[in-house]
Amino acid sequence: MALTIGVPAETFPGERRVVMTPRAMDALAKSSVEFLIEPRAGVAAGFPDSEYQQKGARIAANRAEVFASSEVVLQVRTPGANPEAGRADLSLLRSRQVLIGFGEPLTAGPAYAELATRGVTSFAMELIPRITRAQSMDALSSMATIAGYKAVIMAADALPRMFPMLMTAAGTLTPARAFVLGAGVAGLQAIATARRLGAVVQAYDVRAAVREQIESLGAKFVAVELDSAQAEDKGGYAKELGEDFYRKQRELLTEVVRQQDVVITTAAVPGKKAPILITRDMVAGMAPGSVIVDIAAERGGNCELTQPGRTIVENGVSIMGPLNIPASIPFHASQMYSRNVATFLRHIIKDGAVNIDQQDEITRETLVTHGGEVVNARVRDLLGHAKQSS
C-alpha cells in the first residue's frame, strides 16, 4: 500500500509558495507514495490542480481530508513558522503523523513542544546540516538564493539612477556603486546580480575565507583587519560575535557605506537577532536617493533604522525591510524548495514507509519531535533555558 503524502495550502499571510510542485513529484515516482493535494494549493505559485492530477496526484475535498488521510504532511510553514493561522492545523495533526517544513525551531520551541505532546514526528528543513551529501536538501540556501537576487532587483527599482555605465549621445552615465554586507548564499547571489546589472560592487564578510568567492564574482573585497578566526561555526554559518567586534567593524565600514548608492545587508545568525551593521550615523552620511535593502529584516535587521515589513525614508535614504522575500517569486521559490523536500523524502522513505534512523546525521539533525518528546538537542536546550528564565 502506498504512503500518502499530503500537501495543504499555505495559510500564512502573503505566503504564495507551495511545498511540492507537480514536477518535483517525479523524484518520488519509485518510492511507493501517492500525493493528496488541497484544492488550489499551488495556484498562487503558478501550479493549477490539473497539473498535479496529470502527475497522478489526487485532489482532496478539503483541507481536513488532507490531514486526516495522510501519513506525511508537507508544508512550507509548519505551525512554528505560522504562529497564528498555523494553530488551526494543530488540532488536525495526530500521533505518529510526520510533519516536514520550515518551522523556526530555534525560536518557536513552544510550538514544537505542542507537536511533541500530540505525538507528531516533525522535521525542520532549517536544520538540514551543511554537509556535502545534504547539499541537494539545503532549503535555506535555496531560499537565500531567491532573496539575494530579489533584493538587488528591489534596490534597482527604488534607486533614482540606473545600475550600468552607459555611453550615450547625451554623455556617459556612471555606474551605480553597490555594497553587499555578508557573503553567504544570499550575499553572493546579490553580488552576482548587481554585477550582471552593471554596478560596481564591493562586499564584506567577517569570514576572510570568502574573499576568493567575492572576487571571483567580480566584486572588490573590503578588508577589515580584525581577528575573524572565530567568525564561522562548524556548520559553515556566520557566528554571533561580541558587541566590541561589531563596534570596531561599524567604525571601519562607515567610510565605505558613505560612498555607496546601494547597500544590501544579509548578515543573519540562525536563531539570533541580526547584528546591527549599519548605524543611524552611517545612514546620515549617505547621499540622498541612496537605497538600503535589509534582507535580515525578519531577524530585526542589520540597519539600526530598519522597520521590518516597511520602507522608510531617512534624510533622503530609502531603507527597505522586506519580509518573506522568497514568496514574492513563488514559482521558482516553490520549484527549488520542493526539490529540496523531495530529496529529503527520498532520504527518509524506505520501502514505502518513513524510516527514522537517528544514527544518520541528516535525519538526526533535522528531527525535532518524535515519540512524544522534543528530541533535537538544540531545541531541547533552548526550551530548557526558556523554562528557567520564566
- Give the list of residues 6+ apart from residue 205 with CB closer than 8 angstroms, or none: 181, 182, 183, 184, 187, 214, 238
State the average pLDDT over residues 207-213: 91
Predicted confidence at residue 42, as pLDDT, reads: 98
Predicted confidence at residue 238, as pLDDT, reads: 55
Q: Is 357 a catalytic residue?
A: no
Q: Is 130 a catalytic residue?
A: yes
> Which of 237, 246, 307, 346 is the catalytic position?
237
Can you tell me the distance from the alpha carbon of 133 to that of 113, in angstroms, rounded to the nearest whole number?
29
> Which of 75, 141, 189, 202 is the catalytic position?
141
Confidence of residue 225 (pLDDT cuts 50, 70, 90): low
Confidence of residue 208 (pLDDT cuts 50, 70, 90): confident
For 232-284, write each residue's pLDDT tens digit: 555 555 555 667 776 777 778 999 999 999 999 999 888 889 988 999 999 99
For 39-76, write each residue's pLDDT tens digit: 999 999 999 999 999 999 999 999 999 999 999 999 99
State the average pLDDT over residues 220-225: 82
Q: Is 91 a catalytic residue?
A: no
pTM exceeds 0.85 for this model? yes
> Would you say residue 1 has pLDDT above 90?
no
- Reference 301, options 263, 254, 248, 262; nearest CA is 263
> Which of 23, 118, 130, 195 is the catalytic position?
130
Query: What CA–CA distances, in Å, run from 85 to 148, 202, 205, 246?
Result: 28, 41, 37, 37
Query: What are the chain's domains?
Result: 3-137+330-389 (3.40.50.720), 147-323 (3.40.50.720)
Confidence of residue 387 (pLDDT cuts 50, 70, 90): low
> Which of 53, 54, 135, 230 is the catalytic position?
135
Q: Is 138 a catalytic residue?
A: yes
Q: Is 141 a catalytic residue?
A: yes
Amino acid symbol at 186: A
Share of the chain above pLDDT 90, in %: 85
